[in-house]
Structure 1
């Protein structure tokens, strides 16, 4: 499991070990780690995380230990050589800028604690700081909507304001442990989703059929209530059975899920729309449903349909 770097840094600081957070704020060329990547360093030089895949960590640790002594931040620039880049899997090198902030001074403990709390509660948050000095603060999606939508940390156009986006992890809830789900689960996991499958039918919802994801055997509406639905969740219904799909769809329409896709033909969806209207959903709510599910790429096999679904989810996530 990937360590939660901000939480770890806060724990180290509160335990009296001292802690500094190093964050990649800019990159040029084929830098080994993306903007927003973090490394936590304690007062003895222990580390978790990465800012370069190993190329410059030693130098960053040395700077962090000095920062812990004087309490001041450091803005560091490193060139990653072609040889070092190749060693971490890249074809050529690049340049990175790294901000080192000792916790409790340059990075106030209260700000870090609020960030950790937001992450634990799955609330989107942005850590905003002035690279030329100034008090860091937290901001919400309303202040940087495009950065949140694209998961894009970076320096603003003024050249000095750095915005680190901390979005909750992406999740996908799949209703129906059918053949398409067997292909979609591993694809979604590779794409970075925490995947949960929901199916109360023992013949379908088994670990033998879906070995790579938790399976909830409750009725879909109850399972989704316990799972939780929010703006970082995609919901896909695949059973083709209204008794199972409809409760999940109603739950999805009553939530902020960024994607709701439902398997079924145009005729099947027309019947679904009529049932939803009778249940009190208006045209704007029903228009949120992607049906027939997936981009129209001519998919025929379960795996191809899974590709089309994941492509449509990605398009919705990144383009809005």
Structure 2
């Protein structure tokens, strides 16, 4: 089932797509009702019959992706010599109805640091429809992520051992939300630098005190980032007014902030008191 494999792969990549299903066939047509294909912005998998029919449906699916449509739609396409499309005629003599369903990939939240706050944050996010990538340079820390498998919820939580986590960050899908909270301030700085070199991330947050952020701003400037770029990083993180220092309290504050960022990705992330 090529279309099903494509759905899984695109979801892993964080790419939106449209699932096209033939829902009714009258007369002669290349495929029977139930045939499916998957269309992304730059690819297509499986087939609903080829020719002008498939080209027309592929074009419609890509327009839906380009326009950011979220509601499914049904289309009916006649297949006779009198029906002309921009791709010509298809003269099977029948008619097909198709259902086009846009599928938005789950928003990606990449948490760098599987320490106390990182694990609590993953727990807090497990009730949201997000893909949580929990990354740590320490293999032993990532082992603790397995305990989260028992959580029931719509989130997909995965742990990753990455000795050089900035490489993992560079490979994240566009629009990913990054939260940096590792065990090492030097590693935090490397990740901040890598995040600022990507202009397509959804939001960036760094755990830490105001004093830590003063030092980081100075070092990021020395690495060539201007003030406008550095301002993309929210530090401290979490909701304003939440002053608790316990890992669970910080995690809940950051999770609430992320829930807003995921819902309205163009809104600037709120700053709050997350400490580390």
TM-score, length-normalised on structure 1? 0.53
1:283 & 1:178 partners in 2: Cα distance?
A: 30
In structure 2, the CA distance between the partners of 1:210 and 1:118, relative to structure 1 (3 Å rule), is farther
Tell me the equivalent position of 1:293.
Answer: 237
Against the structure 1 CA distance between its residues 193 and 178, is the aligned structure 2 distance closer, same or farther, given a 3 Å change threshold?
Answer: same
Match for residue 167 of structure 1 among 104, 107, 111: 104
The residue correspondences of 1:150-161 to structure 2 (distance < 5 A) are 152-153=70-71
Alignment partner of 1:231 is 2:174: yes
- Which residue, out of 3, 7, 10, partners 1:7? 3
Residue 83 of structure 2: aligned partner? none
Q: CA deviation at 1:279?
A: 0.3
Q: Residues of 1 paired with 2:33 and 2:219: CA distance?
A: 57
Question: For residue 315 of structure 1, what is the aligned residue in structure 2?
Answer: 260
* Candidates 234, 242, 250, aligned match of 2:193: 250
Task: Please say if residues 106 and 131 of structure 2, whose CA atoms lie closer than 8 Å, have aligned partners that are also in contact.
Answer: yes
SS in 2 for 1:191: coil
| 1:115 corresponds to | 40
Partner of 1:52 in structure 2?
Answer: none
Deviations, residues 1-60 of structure 1 (Å, cap 9, x unaligned):
xxx9x924999xxxxxxxxxxxxxxxxxxxxxxxx997968xxxxxxxxxxxxxxxxxxx
Aligned-pair CA distance for 1:258: 0.2
Question: Whole-Å Cα distance in 2 between the matches of residues 269 and 10 of structure 1?
Answer: 42
Q: How far off its partner does 1:143 sit?
A: 3.4
Over 3 Å counting, the alpha-carbon distance change for 1:207 and 1:258 in structure 2 is same
Query: Within 5 Å, which residues of 2 pair with 1:59-70?
Result: 64=23, 67-70=24-27
CA RMSD in angstroms comes to 3.9
CA distance in 2, matches of 1:10, 1:271: 45
Structure 2 match to 1:138: 62
**Contact 2:111–2:178 at 8 Å: present in 1 too?**
yes
Deviations 1:187-246 (A, max 9, x none): 323212222222223453323676443222312212324xx2233311111126321111
The unaligned stretches of length 5 or more in structure 2 are 8-16, 46-58, 74-98, 150-157, 267-276
Query: 2: CA distance between counterparts of 1:242 and 1:221?
Result: 14
The CA deviation at 1:278 is 0.5
Question: Contact 1:229–1:252 (CA<8 Å) still a contact in 2?
Answer: no
Long gaps (5+) in structure 1: 12-35, 42-63, 73-100, 121-134, 156-161
Greater relative contact order structure (CA < 8 Å, 6+ sep): 2
Q: 1: distance between equivalents of 2:179 and 2:6?
A: 37
Instruction: Give the SS at the match of 1:207.
Output: helix
Residue 276 of structure 1, CA deviation:
0.5
Aligned residues: 207
TM superposition shift of 1:274 = 0.7
